[in-house]
């Protein structure tokens, strides 16, 4: 595993351990479709394929689309759109 992969996985692990449990919501993709959060999906991609910015941006774009869908449908969920440098909390419904 390349050093950049190890560093990225370490950063994700720190986020998942110390920040994510305290924010009180999950990413829009996981809120809409279920399954794993964006951080977990990206970590798995890094473990399987190495750090691939195309895969990362693709997942974040899917999260952005899920965020838009949740807003339009008025679903009663709470989560975050992780489609930029800072997560954007949202409440639908």
- CA 52 to chain centroid: 15
| Per-position pLDDT tens, the chain of length 93 | 899 999 999 999 998 888 887 776 778 898 889 899 999 999 999 999 999 999 999 998 998 888 888 878 776 666 655 655 555 555 544
Whether pTM exceeds 0.75:
yes
Domain of residue 68 covers 3-91
* Separation of alpha carbons 10 and 48, rounded Å: 15
Name the residue with tokens 């994510």: 20
- Domain count for the chain: 1
Q: Which helix (H) or strand (E) holds 39?
A: helix 38-49
């Amino acid at each position: 595993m390349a050093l950049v992969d190890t560093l990225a996985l370490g950063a994700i692990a720190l986020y998942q351990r110390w920040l994510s449990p305290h924010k009180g919501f999950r990413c829009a993709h996981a809120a809409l479709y279920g399954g794993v959060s964006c951080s977990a999906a990206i970590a798995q991609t890094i473990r399987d394929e190495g750090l691939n910015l195309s895969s990362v941006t693709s997942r974040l774009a899917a999260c952005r689309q899920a965020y838009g869908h949740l807003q339009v449908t008025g679903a009663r969920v709470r989560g975050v759109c992780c489609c930029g440098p800072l997560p954007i909390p949202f409440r639908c419904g």
